[in-house]
Structure 1
Amino acid sequence: MPVVPPPLIALGAGFVQRALAPEQPPGLVRKVAAVGLGAAGIGLLGATGAAFKRHGTTFEPFDPSKATALVTDGPNAVSRNPMYVGMAGVLAAHALGRGGWLTPLPVIAFVAVIGRVQIRPEEEALAALFGEDYAAYCDQVPRWIGLPETWRRIAVDT
Structure 2
Amino acid sequence: MSSSDIQRPALFGGLASSILLAAYFVILTLVSGWAFALEQFSGFWYFIVPLTLGFGIQVGLFVRLRDLVGAARRSGVMVATSGTTSTAAMISCCAHYLANAAPVLGATGLVAFAAQFQTELFWVGLLFNAAGVVFVGTKLMKATREHAQCTS
Of structures 1 and 2, the one with the larger relative CO (CA 8 A, separation 6+) is 1
The normalised TM-score by structure 1 is 0.35
Larger helix fraction of residues: 2
**Greater Rg, structure 1 or structure 2?**
2
